Amino acid sequence: MRGLTLWCAAVAVLGLVAPGVTVADDKAEKLSPDKLPKAVADAIKARFPDGKITSAEKETEDGKVVYDIELTSGGLKYEMDIHEDGTVEEIEKEIKEVPAAVAKAVEGKYPKAKIVEVMERSKVKDKKETPVDYEVTIEQDGKKSELIVALDAKSVKTEAEEKAEKKEKK
């Protein structure tokens, strides 16, 4: 009987605590391109008429559904963040030639790292793309990680540092 009472108490406490627990925003659901909502597919086609989708995921960011799309177009790799209604939030474009200032900034903070990939990130507002920074994938000691480098290369942050800054601003 005592075990049952303790179990009921535990369930009651969980019932009080659980509503305050939020589901992690970073869980993504992989989708096949033909399962994308029409508005999302139309937004991709409008920006990249010859684009070939290589990966599609549905995730929740800040309580909003966002589709994370990876594709190729014109021999380059692109990534897009698109809301359910077809609004494009962000476009990342592969940069084949690493800007010298970016390479120098990364080397200054991570001297033993090798730059694997550089993507120029642009925010999209009213269909206008404005570059905001670079997402740089590095490899160091057999591990890959992503850095955020300012366009002027004066700032190099990890993704975790960038997320923490964004939370502080909210």
Q: Note the pLDDT tens digit of each residue in 78-103.
A: 999 999 999 999 999 999 999 999 99
> Which of 4-8, 68-72, 157-161 is predicted with the least confidence, judged by mean pLDDT?
4-8
Stretch among 23-32, 77-86, 103-112 having the lowest mean pLDDT: 23-32
* Residue 19 CB burial class (10 angstroms; 0-12, 13-18, ≥19): exposed
Q: Which residue has the tokens 């993504």?
A: 28
Measure Cα distances from 57 to 4, 39, 53, 81, 160 in Å: 43, 15, 11, 10, 21
The overall average pLDDT reported for the chain is 86
66 phi and psi, to 5 degrees?
A: -130, 140
